[in-house]
Amino acid sequence: MKRVHNFCAGPAALPTEVLKQASAEMLDWHGEGLSIMEMSHRSKTIVDVFNEAEQDLRELMNISDDYAVLFLQGGASTQFSAIPLNLMGDKGKADYLNTGQWSKKAIKEAKKFVDVNVAASSEDTNFTTIPPVESWNLQSDAAYLHYTPNETIGGVEFFDVPKVDVPVVADMSSTILSRPININDFDVIYAGAQKNIGPAGLTLVIVKKSLLGNADPKTPTMLDWGVAAENDSMYNTPPTYSVYLAGLVFKWLKAQGGLSAMAEINARKAKKLYDYIDQSGFYANPVEVQSRSLMNVPFTLKNAELDKVFLEKADAAGLLNLKGHRSVGGMRASIYNAVPEQAVDDLIAFMKDFANAYA
């Protein structure tokens, strides 16, 4: 069996152990004689699978009973509209930080529903920095503050949570589960699953229960978090297989030692890669040092004409999906939880050989 190193930004690598278990259970789930994909979402088996996934996630992230955990669909992008609809109330305005392509999309969508105040933007540095807190232009009567703790495309990460008096909403699609966070610093956390949780098709929303039940009356039922919470994420047919697989990933994370163990490994992986890039004289990462993402590492080659041959040779060496996002160019290595340290070591060794051959 061949397994390459997969540096895709999303859908991203999944732990081999998880895929092995899922394939072993594919045709006959625990002696029931059918696949988990073929079961009713009202069956006890699926209800148990959902409950167990939720419990494991609560343990991993230390999520108290004050929060609801929702397993939804539509991707993080659907939440770009669900957020204003659920939270705007009669305030009608919200603060957004603009630190990259995903912030921009969230802002564009929110503008359909609320007055968006872009409290700070790093567009003038081509999204390679995080604007200093002192420069943020916050509104004390905003319905909420939205930000993107990790910009998947630009490779920019916040390591501090904004301290404000309004609800804090975080798009954690590409950083969730990569390190411990204090859940109480947040009011809403959301994430598409396909980066660091499981397969595409599942969207996770963690929301303070006190914020539920105030959705705008015109909110589509499927976007109303209160309805999802009341129905244990089963108002309609949920993405059962994706939740099952996410549950296996949660168990895998617990077996690795939980999020502090993952944080240590992830910090080591990222440091090695940035250290090599910085001293190579051949590769470069444009992001200010203190805001460099632990999960998504964009880098350019000294000569962009070499991009194509770099990617061809990387592919041939079993290092896949290193092409950067079209808006940034160059390369990007996404090194999520399921990308083992060995993959980063092999990537660095490849980059060294390539630099020697083409410098």
Which residues participate in catalysis according to the annotation? 102, 171, 195
| 10 interacts with ligand PLP by CB under 6 A | yes
In angstroms, give the least distance from the CB of 343 to ligand PLP.
Answer: 20
CB 277 within 8 A of CB 283: yes
Judged by beta carbon, residue 195 or residue 292, the one nearer ligand PLP is: 195
| 152 interacts with ligand PLP by CB under 6 A | yes
Judged by beta carbon, residue 122 or residue 280, the one nearer ligand PLP is: 122
Cis-peptide, bond into residue 340, ω within 30° of zero: no
Binding mask 278-317 for ligand PLP (x = CB under 6 A): ----------------------------------------
| 81 interacts with ligand PLP by CB under 6 A | no
CB 335 within 8 A of CB 195: no
Window of 75-83, 129-137, 239-247, 274-282 that interacts with ligand PLP by CB under 6 A:
75-83
Amino acid at 237: T
Q: Is 321 left (phi over 0), alpha (psi -120 to 50) or beta?
A: left
Judged by beta carbon, residue 110 or residue 355, the one nearer ligand PLP is: 110
Q: Can you tell me the distance from the alpha carbon of 86 to that of 215, in angstroms, rounded to the nearest whole number?
A: 4
Judged by beta carbon, residue 195 or residue 208, the one nearer ligand PLP is: 195
Q: Which residues contact 28 (CB under 8 A, 6 or more apart)?
A: 34, 35
CB 320 within 8 A of CB 7: yes
| 102 interacts with ligand PLP by CB under 6 A | yes
| 171 interacts with ligand PLP by CB under 6 A | yes
Of the candidates 26, 87, 80, the residue with the CA atom closest to the CA atom of residue 248 = 26
| 77 interacts with ligand PLP by CB under 6 A | yes
Of the candidates 86, 92, 94, 110, the residue with the CA atom closest to the CA atom of residue 228 = 86
Of the candidates 105, 102, 89, 98, the residue with the CA atom closest to the CA atom of residue 119 = 98
| 173 interacts with ligand PLP by CB under 6 A | yes
In angstroms, give the least distance from the CB of 76 to ligand PLP.
Answer: 4
Binding mask 180-199 for ligand PLP (x = CB under 6 A): ------------x--x----
CB 197 within 8 A of CB 249: yes
In angstroms, give the least distance from the CB of 173 to ligand PLP.
Answer: 3
Judged by beta carbon, residue 85 or residue 355, the one nearer ligand PLP is: 85
> The sheet that has 283-284: what strands, in order across it?
283-284, 296-301, 331-334
Query: Cα–chain-centroid distance for residue 186?
Result: 15
Judged by beta carbon, residue 176 or residue 301, the one nearer ligand PLP is: 176
Binding mask 216-245 for ligand PLP (x = CB under 6 A): ------------------------------
Judged by CB under 6 A, the residue of 75, 198, 199, 201 near ligand PLP is 75
The radius of gyration computed from the CA coordinates of the chain, to the nearest angstrom, equals 21
Report CA torsion sign: 14, 154, 323, 359. negative
> At how many degrees (to 10) do helices 307-316 and 341-358 cross?
130
Judged by CB under 6 A, the residue of 39, 72, 76, 88 near ligand PLP is 76
In angstroms, give the least distance from the CB of 334 to ligand PLP.
Answer: 10
List of residues contacting ligand PLP (CB under 6 A): 10, 75-77, 102, 148, 152, 171, 173-174, 192, 195
